[in-house]
Amino acid sequence: MFTDRVEVTFEAGHRLLFYKGKCESPHGHTFKVEILVSSENLNDLGFVVDFVELKDKVNRWIEENWDHAFLVSGQDQELRRALDSLTDKKVFVFEDGNPSAENMARFFYQKVAEWYGKLVTRVRVWESPYDYAEYFERAAQ
């Protein structure tokens, strides 16, 4: 099995709705997204995927949607109203839950799977140099 890995770092803010602790307040992180794609076979050039192509797609999507954005739960009406009152803003809404590292990893796994199908094996979202959440789908038994 061959595995390729790319990573992209970006800045974003979020808060965890209904969380009782520091993360219930709006705050920011330097996030890192790590994408792993795997295959038993290589293409004609000897690649699982072209690193340049994958990193370009990931960078472009992150830049347009998450970089220097505020990531917000679709249920967080108070924060959404506050952000809507700003003239210059970038907001990305997680309709199905909190913008936790876990939900970000699942969301981005699904995004990369749109581009590369079953080659995507794992996505990790780091919210600090020491902490990450990882999403992958179990193989059929």
Q: Which long-range contacts (CB under 8 A, 24 or more apart) does 54-61 make?
A: 54/4, 54/6, 54/115, 54/116, 55/6, 55/8, 57/115, 58/6, 58/8, 58/33, 58/112, 59/8, 61/111
DSSP three-state, residue 100: coil
Q: What is the pLDDT of residues 80-129, one digit of tens each?
A: 999 999 999 999 999 989 999 999 999 999 999 999 999 999 999 999 99
**Rg, C-alpha atoms of the chain:** 16
Strands (E), the chain: 2-14, 27-39, 69-73, 91-94, 120-126, 132-135
- 14 counts as catalytic: no
Q: What is the pLDDT of residue 141?
A: 47
Position 138 scores a pLDDT of: 79
Which of 7, 11, 64, 68 is an active site residue? 68
Q: Which domains does the chain have, with CATH numbers?
A: 2-135 (3.30.479.10)
CA 66 – CA 70 distance, rounded (Å): 7
**Which amino acid, residue 39?**
S
Task: Between 139 and 109, name the one with better pLDDT.
Answer: 109
pLDDT of 7: 95
Q: Which of 23, 29, 102, 134 is catalytic?
A: 23
Token output for 76: 């967080």
68 part of the active site:
yes
pTM of the shown model? 0.93
> What's the confidence (pLDDT) of residue 64?
97
